Structure 1
């Protein structure tokens, strides 16, 4: 196959690279020209090189199935997604603003609850929140930050504007794949990095370490930081081990840690070594069997007690998931106004709350036009894509909504933007989203771009790798003369 942009048509959808058949967007002109100049053999060689690099570098993810856990090579398309630097600067400011407001909200919820007393957020939404942890009430973590790492999912509609689809504040994943995508692309197209001013992403591990070190209870230049993983069978284990290696810190499981005198220690061949900061990749309820799930073998007995006494820092903090709720998400614009006194820079996707009777009635009457999501599922699971669902599926979902309206919210089916992927005969459009990663500690930072996830199946809106999605390298490009 060879790429002919005149024959590439994304139809009614906003395309990231090509504005209309044969016409690349200004920021992507050099890239489009280069790709169009490649022969069939060169494209095939590029695909093979990417597959070989992914295999050699061990970039994988785990899919859970009835047949068992299956390790699969990371799905990757060699065409990069391009974003103009000027546009990204605006997006970056919006993401930082959003996480600041979310951290203010979490801190308020576990302390004064002003936002509820002032009737900005209905009290019943908090009362029915499955991720509110009463055990965290009264806690004041370092710097007032609960969610140190956030992965906010962005989509672009037909108007070409970025919207926030959801915020991931518990154990957001995917940043390792963003970093590895860049390495793979540099192997395939090294010449493109000579001809484009592409912002780097390689500084993320250092920024992550600095963010974690800043919350250490001991004022050390290099505190003892560990990454706490559930183990090798977790779907994100590749990322856990990757980030630990990149930061130069220990990767530990719960059995490697012990709590003594309300301090956390790591078992080493030289004896116990005190731990200052835990970057946990375990859900709240498995962190400490003494306080949460007593059957958990993944966590550390006494860990919560040590954290509540301020003797160890945990990122993201237990309880941060109270804001990782698709119903609470709808109130983020009000949070920004309430806590920061600012107008939101990035808009939410229009949403309907099923807990509200009038909005619920609208949702039930329009299930064939809406996407309905449970409040606390992730990975694209448990949702209904109304326009693609059968009548029976919509009827079953209507019953679920009526039985537990607090657990559901709905949004219109957004016309997700497209990007070209390598098809069988030409470049073909596929729907995408974007997950940038925001850090907040003493300072705030945002990755230059993020993880672009691609719905590899034609017409599909599901971008999650566990359900057949893939990814592309994401370039934030400084245009010439800028």
Structure 2
């Protein structure tokens, strides 16, 4: 194919600086794809779709009151990022999650950040994710958000912004790893000529993070993954992670809390004590004794066990107090307050509707802004101003006036694009990136890349799979390492020739 026909001038493109001019990290990929005909690309695409079906990679969407399993929507053209740029991004993500953990511990402790006037008291009072049951608790190593998925977007000027932080039950990491496996099946040759950093160590890193939280150090920890069950949209990921880590996948009915306040798992050999629960259940359904009395998904008494230090819960209950799109706007101030540093990765500029002046600006510019509720996820409940109708804007005006604390707004960013194979050929599509960060106290791990989500609909900015989005493999390309490898190979060949 001729890359000069690929039009990428309107937005920052992840692979091309200009038509026919690939960015350095994408040069080998562009040359490789350039040698493939449209027919060959189509065959590789079909091979990817077949591999996804054979591997059983699915996700669940809720439509018309039903759960529908669909094959994972995947685009075969990877996204490339140079390692030199990723090192700065990685440092920024580590800094961010460190400050967020300090914030959560402070909120459930002395609330110094509130007393010092950095974080508004009324914002905390109206937080739907603040859990009074957690006040006074200090989890092991002071870590509340052990697993974080932060969404990153790149603007037209090339700046990478943090769009939001996901601290409750962040999902998608299984697809990051599976994307790589599918890409290796489709394009095996290219991995021989490019130094692409691996992502397959995530399950081992996650297991080590979970094990480090065990309340019984020195013992082989018994770790389980608690799932709401087969009807959950991320059930594929729950099964995948449990299988990859070699731990039990359990539902609430499989666990119980004994008279000693320890958690036990039912087995054919009798009850076995559980040390760590990687829970994929929202706070309110976790324990009918502490939260919703009608929950049949959780484990009665598990909060009591956690508060007494008999079991570790990952992520910790109450961590969602920082997983709020309004609280998000204060993260740079948290970094400054707790770490004494400037934020390495900037936030997207935000307007808080709880502030009268900012609210007036938002209401006057609904047609230009993206308005988000504080605690929705999956792309639901948003207003994308430039694509909205007058009726939708009027509806959001009423929602904002009725509950200003629950809404914030951001400018409509010109999200970066990347070449995507569509029915009409290769075209640019908008995308974001969700890296995953693991915190255990003594160290922090960031995935090499993450889950790149793609708005498969032309012109759309909505990348969520539940809203018609897809995904790409994300390559962190070590160009310096590749150059050193090539030089070493050349010297080796020269030495061999001299020996002959």
Bin for the TM-score computed over the shorter chain: over 0.9
Per-residue CA shift, 1:101-136, capped at 9, x if unaligned?
000000000001000000000100000000000000
Q: Distance in 2 between matches of 1:118 and 1:377?
A: 29
For these two proteins, the number of residue pairs brought into alignment is 480
1:12 shift after superposition? 1.7
Q: Does 1:352 align with 2:351?
A: yes
3-state SS of paired residue (1:271): coil
TM-superposed CA distance for 1:425, in Å, is: 4.4
Unaligned runs of 5+ in 1: none
Q: Which residue of 2 aligns with 1:364?
A: 363
Equivalent residue, structure 1, for 2:88: 90
Alpha-carbon offset, residue 222 of structure 1: 2.7
Q: Aligned equivalents of 1:44 and 1:155: distance in 2? A: 29
Indicate whether 1:43 and 2:45 are aligned: no
Structure 1 Cα separation of the partners of residues 422 and 75 of structure 2? 10
- 2-structure distance, mates of 1:424, 1:10: 18
Q: What is the match of residue 334 of structure 1?
A: 333
Partners of 1:111 and 1:137 within 8 A in 2: yes
Moved over 6 A (4+): none
**Partner of residue 33 from structure 1, selected from 26, 31, 34:** 31
TM superposition shift of 1:443: 1.3
Q: Distance in 2 between matches of 1:423 and 1:379?
A: 23
Indicate the SS of the match to 2:471: strand
Partner of 1:474: 474
* Deviation for aligned residue 1:36: 1.2
Shift of 1:426: 3.0
1:74 aligns with 2:84: no
Could you tell me which residue of structure 1 aligns to residue 494 of structure 2?
Answer: none
Corresponding residue for residue 271 of structure 1 = 270
- 1:128 and 1:458 map into 2 onto residues whose CA distance is 38
Q: Quote the residue 2:135 is aligned against.
A: 137
1:276–1:313 contact (8 Å) kept in structure 2: yes
Distance 1:159 1:40 in 2: 32
State the Cα deviation string for residues 13-57 of structure 1 (Å, max 9, x = none).
000001111111111011001111102231121111101110011
Structure 2: unaligned runs, 5 residues or longer: 485-500
Supply the distance in 2 between the matched residues of 1:249 and 1:236 (Cα, whole angstroms). 17
8 Å CA contact retained: 1:4, 1:426 = no
1:451 match? 451
**Distance in 2 (alpha carbons) for counterparts of 1:425 and 1:431:** 16
Larger Cα Rg: Structure 1 or Structure 2?
Answer: 2
Q: Counterpart of 2:386?
A: 387
Name the residue aligned to 1:237. Answer: 235
Give the conservation status (yes or no) of the 8 Å contact 2:224–2:247.
Answer: yes
TM-score, scaled to structure 2:
0.95
TM-score (norm 1): 0.99
Asked if the contact 1:98–1:336 (Cα under 8 Å) also holds between the matched residues in 2, the reply is yes
Report matched runs for 1:4-23 at 5 Å: 4-23=2-21
CA contact (8 A) 1:8 1:426 kept: no
Does residue 216 (structure 1) correspond to residue 214 (structure 2)? The answer is yes
Q: How does 1:26-425 map to 2 (within 5 A)?
A: 26-220=24-218, 222-260=220-258, 261-425=260-424
Q: Deviations over 1:368-390 (max 9, x none)?
A: 11000000000010010001101
Q: Secondary structure at the match of 1:77?
A: strand
8 Å Cα contact 2:265-2:274 kept in structure 1:
yes
Q: Secondary structure at the match of 1:346?
A: coil
